[in-house]
Copies of this chain bind each other. A is one copy, B any other.
């Protein structure tokens, strides 16, 4: 067995180990106490709502995936390529991603009530339940992804089939992320505007018909959506590096093609150790424990990665620095996020202060800081990209360096997803505690757990944004390499670098068209949120009018109606975004040809990264400005400043939870569609 085959087997074993640990945690969580009849009833509403949504989502997914698989099979077969294997790998990717998302959500709806019940005993156990449940998601994601990629490459030895697998993962991720984002914010905004603002009942109050939908949203948006999102970046970054590796000289190509998978395996090992070290002593600090786990994982991974790269003589040692550069920029972006969204710094405080002069000033101020927050992150990404390129000597190896820096950052996803998924679970635990009438003390403990989740998020968020940016850059250069290979294969000569010059009007046209896609996508998803929320608000008003006993607490509203409203609205709203992601790049490719499509992807990447940074940070800033006012500053709760800050927070909701986080996935899908259809576009195009 050759060296690289051994690597693949090693990757397969690590992936299976990851799955095994995930399953072990799953059953451990399931064994925990789920409390009284009341808490079980409340948790049951949320579970049923979440399942009902996932059922609808996956049904839509099967439709989309089926159509795309047929197209892939037909198109590839016409071009004399492997049509059926491509379609199978695509479907396999979509299915893997769905399984990981489903597992994560199942455990989340088990863990929320169990964590709440545990919180009635002590903080430590409650933390354990929630974090272990998060780890189920984390290990499911990296395990399924690594097993899938290793299997396909072990069987076929063809990186292009792994590309089809990746497209499958990303297509699902886009639907899950955007759909979940629309769902969760529809319910959140409607619940808040009618509940808190109009009739003045607290958050998570069972009198509010939208309260279950709101809690379901935390699961479908933040757990299943986020899991699918990381799944997709994880696979896409590895695929980009594999494609670039496969295009290298015959002697070294095998090593560079499999190296990404080896890095994934090492990341799994490091995550297994890191997750096992996340512990809080009695009344210890959960935030600290989460961070400690992340540090251990990253440190261990860096050591393992460096040792392996140094030991393999065929691999350029500079790649170590490329990976470290990626990690460094992750820290920079994390710090930037922290500065612009934490209430310990000026931006949040000033925005809160300005809120005293009315909501308009809150909005303008938050938006401005959100736009300014782009700057350090972009500078960081640019520096990381240049370091990763030049440190390995530039040229093709340099482009590979850019791609591998993303793989290195995402390799530790096992730990990162674990601590990310922890957040919505404790958020939900708090909701269940409130709705099932648990003690004030339990709710306080849940609040402590919740705020730990928020702090940990700042670091992981920086990582995921930086990784996504480097991933799409990797995908971008991989696409150019693919189109070149396809043109050579079709006997059309190689794809000249000079044909993608900035002075070419076709390229410029592509850039302009690409650059408008992320803003358009953001607008459509946000508009869906307002439209669906508007409908739900009308519905809730109607419920209160028809049955006044509900507001008096003497009757229980029908929670499933709001769940269904949010779910149907979200799924219908996915049609246009899906068209942008899949049909637009194909149209541009067939119309403007390879050069125009390259420009298109470049334009989409630029505005995609910009808008993702802007929207996430502005949203986070408004959220924390509101909390800062609520903590008693500038008049505190009920003041004019508070009213304005609440409006800012509501505007920020779809920014940070619907549009912003879906943009990475959008550009990933666009790049993958372009790469997958490269063989066809190389032959058929107008210009």
- Which residues on A are within 8 Å of B, measured CB to CB? 189, 193, 197, 354, 357-361, 363-365, 367-372, 374-375, 378-379, 381-382, 385-386, 389-390, 394, 398-399, 402, 473, 477, 480, 496-498, 500-503, 505-509, 511-513, 515-516, 519-520, 522-524, 526-527, 529-530, 533-534, 537, 598-599, 602-603, 606-607, 609-610, 614, 647-648, 650-651, 654
Cβ of B189 and Cβ of A360 under 8 Å apart? yes
Between A and B, 18 residue pairs with Cβ closer than 8 Å are A189-B360, A361-B533, A364-B526, A365-B527, A367-B523, A368-B526, A370-B523, A371-B523, A375-B516, A378-B516, A382-B509, A385-B505, A386-B509, A389-B505, A402-B505, A477-B503, A502-B502, A647-B647
Chain B residues closer than 8 Å to A602, beta-carbon distance: 502, 508, 511
Cβ of B610 and Cβ of A515 under 8 Å apart? yes
Q: Which of A368, A526, A537, A598 has the most CB of B within 10 A?
A: A368
A205 shortest CB reach to chain B, Å: 19
Asked if A519 meets B610 with Cβ closer than 8 Å, knowing A354-B534, A498-B498, the reply is: yes
CB nearest to A394 among chain B residues: B505
A574 shortest CB reach to chain B, Å: 16
CB nearest to A378 among chain B residues: B516
CB nearest to A387 among chain B residues: B505
Other CB < 8 Å A-B pairs besides A473-B508, A500-B501, 7 of them? A189-B360, A360-B648, A370-B523, A371-B522, A389-B505, A394-B505, A500-B502
A515 shortest CB reach to chain B, Å: 5
Chain B residues closer than 8 Å to A501, beta-carbon distance: 497-498, 500-502
Instruction: Report Cα–Cα, A141/B382, bound state, in Å.
Output: 41
A466 shortest CB reach to chain B, Å: 13
Chain B residues closer than 8 Å to A526, beta-carbon distance: 364, 367-368
Instruction: Report Cα–Cα, A496/B497, bound state, in Å.
Output: 11
Cβ of B361 and Cβ of A534 under 8 Å apart? yes
Chain B residues closer than 8 Å to A497, beta-carbon distance: 498, 501, 503
Chain B residues closer than 8 Å to A610, beta-carbon distance: 515-516, 519, 607
Copy count, this protein chain: 2
A250 shortest CB reach to chain B, Å: 22
CB nearest to A185 among chain B residues: B364
Asked if A360 meets B647 with Cβ closer than 8 Å, knowing A606-B603, A606-B606, the reply is: yes
Chain B residues closer than 8 Å to A379, beta-carbon distance: 513
Instruction: Report Cα–Cα, A497/B369, bound state, in Å.
Output: 38
Cβ of B363 and Cβ of A520 under 8 Å apart? no
Instruction: Report Cα–Cα, A252/B461, bound state, in Å.
Output: 58
Instruction: Say what secondary structure dominates the interface of chain A.
Output: helix
Cβ of A533 and Cβ of B375 under 8 Å apart? no
Chain B residues closer than 8 Å to A382, beta-carbon distance: 509, 512-513
A554 shortest CB reach to chain B, Å: 27
Instruction: Report Cα–Cα, A527/B651, bound state, in Å.
Output: 18
Asked if A374 meets B520 with Cβ closer than 8 Å, knowing A534-B354, A651-B363, the reply is: yes
CB nearest to A360 among chain B residues: B650
Instruction: Report Cα–Cα, A132/B681, bound state, in Å.
Output: 57
Q: Which of A189, A505, A533 has the most CB of B within 10 A?
A: A505
CB nearest to A515 among chain B residues: B606
A498 shortest CB reach to chain B, Å: 4
Cβ of A358 and Cβ of B647 under 8 Å apart? yes
What 10 A-B pairs have minimum CB-CB distances, sorted nearest first? A360-B650, A371-B523, A498-B498, A368-B523, A368-B527, A371-B519, A497-B501, A389-B505, A382-B509, A500-B502
A552 shortest CB reach to chain B, Å: 24
Chain B residues closer than 8 Å to A364, beta-carbon distance: 526-527, 529-530, 651, 654
Query: Which of the residues B193, B390, B508 comes within 8 Å of A357, measured between beta carbons?
Result: B193
Chain B residues closer than 8 Å to A357, beta-carbon distance: 193, 533-534, 537
Cβ of A520 and Cβ of B402 under 8 Å apart? no
Chain B residues closer than 8 Å to A370, beta-carbon distance: 523
Chain B residues closer than 8 Å to A513, beta-carbon distance: 378-379, 382
Chain B residues closer than 8 Å to A385, beta-carbon distance: 505, 508-509
Cβ of B647 and Cβ of A398 under 8 Å apart? no
Instruction: Report Cα–Cα, A358/B358, bound state, in Å.
Output: 14
Chain B residues closer than 8 Å to A648, beta-carbon distance: 360
Cβ of B365 and Cβ of A363 under 8 Å apart? no
Query: Which of the residues B189, B361, B599 comes within 8 Å of A502, measured between beta carbons?
Result: B599
Cβ of B358 and Cβ of A614 under 8 Å apart? no
Asked if A507 meets B502 with Cβ closer than 8 Å, knowing A357-B534, A363-B651, A526-B368, the reply is: yes
Cβ of B358 and Cβ of A197 under 8 Å apart? yes
Chain B residues closer than 8 Å to A537, beta-carbon distance: 357
A605 shortest CB reach to chain B, Å: 9
